[in-house]
Amino acid sequence: MKILWFIPTHGDSRYLGTSKGARAASFDYFKQIAIAADSLGYEGVLIPTGRSCEDSWVLAASLIDATRQLKFLVALRPGLMQPSLSARVAATFDRLSGGRLLVNLVTGGDADELAGDGLFLGHAERYEQSAEFIRIWREILARSHDGTSFDYEGRHLQVRGAKLLYPPQSRPHPPVFFGGSSDAAHELAADQVDTYLTWGEPPAAVAAKLADVRERAARRGRTLRYGIRLHVIVRETEDEAWRAAAELVSELDEQTVAAAQARFSQMDSVGQRRMAELHRGRFDKANVRDGLEIAPNLWAGVGLVRGGAGTALVGNPQQVAQRILEYAQLGLEYFIFSGYPHLEEAHRFAELVFPLLPLALRERLKGGTLSGPFGEIVANQFVPQLVRS
């Protein structure tokens, strides 16, 4: 099991849908989150892409020297850069970071945003282009280890004599992650990616998606890894956790929710549609669980105004850990979490939930080679006693 956190390059706050309690999206803040994740033992951090975000590659590169073991799951959007140049960027990053690059292929589902970036392909054609892009990207990087070149003639992309002189540290190339809910997305995942990601749907729905991708991959003789993207709201008691969920949406109003849902409905993303169907815009400040707790401890409230991943695990440490283990039993290996505000929640989640997860994570939580007392020394003399979970 590998746990990753999230760098909120589109902004952070204590409340959704308002400037109240907002955090400046600054390098210093992003750096604090990255260092916290690295120190706490998270496997890596996801850095998103899109016009609402700072550039993912520039930010990830700026954090290499601030971290030691942290991996960077960097979003890559086909069509904004030629695959050969993208391969060189990835190889350079992977070399300079000591093999700490993970790549998240993002096809995109917002036609307006894509048009602003000069991309005018429809849903099916975007997946065709993405498949050609990642095939070229993978081949260039894989062949760089033996110095050979690559030719490709596709419908959308072509290269002739593509070659990379400085290979990545990872072999054959940095691992490729990808998420999508449409048939075209599942085909792309089965054919080319290393890890398939799903947003946080109820376990039965997740199991069905994984089974479909597994079957498609098996027909190609391939085996994939699997992961899930979720938010988390964990507190020492269940009541505290649900109060925190209520506080997170306490500044929302019906107009803001309606405007966000209308905007999401214009997108052609199947995954976004599935997120919206989990809550259908229902919102009751007096009872945030009503209609939004779509499975035990799985809350769809974040998706009222946030695009993409819109569900959160809400509960006490034991409940959250149990839900994570239930997802893991479906075959999920990567868990990419986030929480508001992201700096504090990174610490809270690690402190409360890591000790309840498998041994490897519990050992990493102790800080690797660090030893000695943990916690503030009592009365200048007494070492705090270890609390057994």
- The rounded distance, in Å, linking the Cα atoms of 90 and 166 is 11
**According to the model, what pLDDT value does residue 368 have?**
47
* CA distances for 348 relative to 12, 258, 304, angstroms: 16, 32, 24
Q: What backbone torsions phi and psi does residue 141 show, to the nearest 5 degrees?
A: -70, -40
Q: Give 184's contacts (C-beta < 8 A, 6+ positions apart).
A: 123, 124, 127
Please count the CA atoms within 13 angstroms of the CA of 322 that sit on its side-chain side: 10
Identify the band that residue 369 occupies on the pLDDT scale cut at 50, 70 and 90: very low
**According to the model, what pLDDT value does residue 358 have?**
84
**According to the model, what pLDDT value does residue 189 have?**
97
**According to the model, what pLDDT value does residue 386 have?**
60
For residues 58, 59, 64 and 70, what is the CA-based torsion angle, rounded to 10 degrees?
-130
Res 21 pLDDT > 70: yes
Identify the band that residue 261 occupies on the pLDDT scale cut at 50, 70 and 90: confident
Res 132 pLDDT > 50: yes
Res 292 pLDDT > 90: yes
Residue type, 160: R
Per-residue pLDDT reduced to its tens digit, 202-223:
999 999 999 999 999 999 999 9
* CA distances for 267 relative to 75, 123, 355, angstroms: 19, 10, 40
Residue 351, Cβ neighbours under 10 Å: how many? Answer: 13
* CA distances for 227 relative to 4, 104, 269, 328, angstroms: 10, 12, 19, 9
Residue 313, Cβ neighbours under 10 Å: how many? Answer: 28
**Least confident stretch, 160-164, 240-244, 270-274, 363-367:** 363-367
pTM: predicted TM-score of the whole model, two decimal places: 0.92
Please count the CA atoms within 13 angstroms of the CA of 298 that sit on its side-chain side: 24
- Beta strands 158-162; 150-153: pairing state: antiparallel
Per-residue pLDDT reduced to its tens digit, 299-320:
999 999 998 899 999 999 999 9
**According to the model, what pLDDT value does residue 112 have?**
86
Are the C-beta atoms of 277 and 294 separated by less than 8 Å?
Answer: no
Res 60 pLDDT > 80: yes
* CA distances for 334 relative to 20, 63, 207, 348, angstroms: 33, 22, 15, 19
Mean pLDDT to the nearest integer, 43-69: 96
Element (H, E) at 151: strand 150-153
Q: At what angle do helices 342-353 and 317-328 cross, to 10 degrees?
A: 80
Mean pLDDT to the nearest integer, 285-296: 91
Mean pLDDT to the nearest integer, 7-21: 94
Element (H, E) at 338: strand 334-338
**According to the model, what pLDDT value does residue 382 have?**
76
**According to the model, what pLDDT value does residue 8 have?**
96
Q: Which CATH architecture has domain 2-234+318-365?
A: Alpha-Beta Barrel (3.20)
Start-to-end CA distance of the chain, whole Å, equals 19
Per-residue pLDDT reduced to its tens digit, 79-115:
899 999 999 999 999 999 999 999 999 998 888 888 8
Percentage with pLDDT > 70 across the chain = 94
**According to the model, what pLDDT value does residue 366 have?**
55
Mean pLDDT to the nearest integer, 284-297: 91
- What residues pair up with 103 in beta bridges, in sequence order? 74, 176
Res 17 pLDDT > 80: yes
Q: At what angle do helices 203-219 and 317-328 cross, to 10 degrees?
A: 30
Identify the band that residue 360 occupies on the pLDDT scale cut at 50, 70 and 90: low
Name the maximum alpha-carbon separation found in the chain.
72
Mean pLDDT to the nearest integer, 179-208: 96
Are the C-beta atoms of 309 and 229 separated by less than 8 Å?
Answer: yes
| Interior/surface letters 24-43, b for 16+ CB within 10 angstroms, e for the rest | eeeeebbbebbbbbbbbbbb
Considering the chain, what is the average pLDDT of its residues? 92
Are the C-beta atoms of 45 and 337 separated by less than 8 Å?
Answer: no
Q: Cα 62–67–69 angle (5° rounding)?
A: 125
Paired tokens of 281 = 């815009």
Identify the band that residue 267 occupies on the pLDDT scale cut at 50, 70 and 90: confident
